[in-house]
Amino acid sequence: MAGYTAEDEQIITREFNELLSACNKICKNEADWEMINKAFFLAKEAHKGVRRRSGEPYILHPLAVAKIVVCEEGLGVKSTAAALLHDVVEDTSYTVEDIENLFGPKVASMVDGLTKVAAALSEDVSAQAESFRKVLLTLSDDIKVIIIKIADRLHNMRTLGSMPRHKQIKITSETMYLFAPLAYRLGLYAIKTELEDLSLKYMYPEQYAEIEAKMNATAAERNEFIEKFIQPIKEKLTENGVEFSISGRVKTVYSIWSKMQRKQIPFEEIYDLFAVRIIFKPSDLAPEKAQCWHIYSLLTDIYTPKPDRIRDWVSFPKANGYEALHATFMRPDGIWAEVQIRSERMDEIAERGFAAHWKYKQEHDDEDEFDKWLRDVRSALTHPAGNAGDFLENVKMTLYMTEMVVFTPKGEARKFPVGATALDFAYDIHTNVGNTAIGAKINHKIESIYTKLKSGDQVQILTAETAHPTIEWLDHVATVKARQSIISYLKHVRQNNIENGISIFENRMKEFGITPSARLFRKLLPAYDCKNKDEFYSKLGSEIINLNDIDSVLRQNAKNKVLKFWTFEMAGNKPGDLVVKNADVDSMDEPKFVAAECCNPIPGDNITGYKDPRTGDIIVHKTDCQELISLAAQKGENLVGNIKWSTYKAVSYLSEIRLRGLDRVGVLRDLAQVITVELDINIRELQIQSHDGIFEGKISVYVSDTDSLHSLMDKVGKIKGIDKVERV
**Residue 93: how many other CB atoms lie within 10 Å:** 8
- By CB under 5 A, which span of 87-95, 202-210, 560-568, 669-677 interacts with Mn ion? 87-95
Smaller CB distance to Mn ion: residue 152 or 535?
152
Site for Mn ion in 569-598 (CB under 5 A): none
Query: Does 87 contact Mn ion by CB under 5 A?
Result: yes
Site string for Mn ion, 94-133 (x = CB under 5 A): ----------------------------------------
Among all residues, whose Cβ is closest to Mn ion? 152
Q: Give least dist CB 10 to Mn ion, A.
A: 23
Smaller CB distance to Mn ion: residue 149 or 352?
149
Residues with Cβ within 8 Å of 80's Cβ and at least 6 positions away in sequence, in order, are 19, 23, 26, 36, 39, 66, 69, 70
* CB of 80 closer than 8 Å to CB of 71: no
* CB of 428 closer than 8 Å to CB of 416: yes
Q: Give least dist CB 49 to Mn ion, A.
A: 17
SS3 582: coil
Distance CA(529)–CA(707), nearest Å, equals 34
Smaller CB distance to Mn ion: residue 85 or 628?
85
Q: Give least dist CB 258 to Mn ion, A.
A: 28
Q: Could you report how far apart the first and last alpha carbons of the chain are, in Å?
A: 57
Smaller CB distance to Mn ion: residue 87 or 584?
87
Q: Give least dist CB 351 to Mn ion, A.
A: 23
90 a catalytic residue:
yes
705 a catalytic residue:
no
Q: Give least dist CB 247 to Mn ion, A.
A: 33
The neighbouring-strand residues paired with 404 are 416
Count of residues of this chain found to bind Mn ion when the rule CB under 5 A is applied: 2
Site for Mn ion in 372-431 (CB under 5 A): none
Site string for Mn ion, 303-322 (x = CB under 5 A): --------------------
* CB of 320 closer than 8 Å to CB of 183: no
User: Given the DSSP bridges, would you call strands 413-417 and 336-343 parallel, antiparallel or unpaired?
Assistant: unpaired
Smaller CB distance to Mn ion: residue 152 or 197?
152
Site for Mn ion in 127-166 (CB under 5 A): 152
Smaller CB distance to Mn ion: residue 110 or 716?
110
Query: Does 196 contact Mn ion by CB under 5 A?
Result: no
The Cα-based distances of 221 to 127, 239, 383 in angstroms read 49, 28, 54
DSSP letter string, 326-356: EEEEE-TTS-EEEEEEEEHHHHHHHHHTHHH
Q: Give least dist CB 91 to Mn ion, A.
A: 9
Q: Give least dist CB 61 to Mn ion, A.
A: 6
- By CB under 5 A, which span of 79-87, 90-98, 424-432, 528-536 interacts with Mn ion? 79-87
Instruction: Give 260-266 contacts, CB < 8 A, sequence gap 24+.
Output: 260/211
Task: Check residue 284 and give left, alpha or beta (phi > 0: left; psi -120 to 50: alpha).
Answer: alpha
**Selected catalytic residue, list 90, 272, 338, 393:** 90
Distance CA(554)–CA(551), nearest Å, equals 5
Distance CA(171)–CA(121), nearest Å, equals 9
**Selected catalytic residue, list 56, 91, 368, 696:** 91
Smaller CB distance to Mn ion: residue 39 or 554?
39
Query: Does 174 contact Mn ion by CB under 5 A?
Result: no
Residues with Cβ within 8 Å of 641's Cβ and at least 6 positions away in sequence, in order, are 608, 609
Task: Write out the residues near Mn ion by the rule CB under 5 A.
Answer: 87, 152
Active site residues per annotation = 90-91
